[in-house]
Homo-oligomer: A and B are copies of this chain.
């Protein structure tokens, strides 16, 4: 019997996710969600105590699913660190700027003040992702493939460079779908800057200029 209720719960979460994505938090009323999932409003409230709780579950669940999808094949050190980072960057941007994830992320940002949602998404999403990549970068630094520096800082610089050409339009919801070709070009330009600063010291002095 647990299986039946679990599938029902998942069905509610799925439909609610779509409703929130299309209509926003305030725009998606519980009646609207009920209409999509079918059944009665009492059932909704049987699975989730309040709209806030339902939204919270939807956001953390989607965050988790998307995180797994994005970092599934994060090969660490395949010899060429630049190649590794390029593959990761392209996969990362493809994931982050798919229409569904764009919508989810924007929703997360807009409603981040609600309860402790922001805190939790930061820890389980952003921080977790950055720590994972920072570990690869730390290893590359230890092997002399990258100049020695703070791995978390390098990771934040990498992420920022990857998003540099997209984030402003994304935040103001002016960005549609981003083509694979665009993502490859953007990643290449970002990595050129990253490698100039964090590439092996043998290449050049570079970042610690002052």
| A contacts, CB < 8 Å to B | 24, 26, 82, 106, 108-113, 118-119, 121-122, 126, 153, 156-157, 159-161, 163-165, 167-169, 171-174, 188-190, 192-199, 203-210
Contacts and interface: CB of A to CB of B under 8 A. Distances in A.
A204 B205 contact: yes
A188 B210 contact: yes
B192 A193 contact: no
Given A109-B110, A112-B171, A206-B206, 18 more contacts: A24-B113, A112-B172, A113-B173, A119-B172, A122-B169, A126-B168, A157-B161, A157-B189, A160-B161, A160-B167, A193-B193, A193-B198, A194-B197, A196-B207, A199-B209, A203-B204, A204-B205, A204-B206
Contacts of A188: 210
A124 to B, nearest CB: 11
Given A109-B110, A118-B172, A160-B167, A196 B189 contact: no
A195 B82 CA distance: 20
Contacts of A160: 160-161, 163-164, 167
A27 B105 CA distance: 21
B174 A118 contact: yes
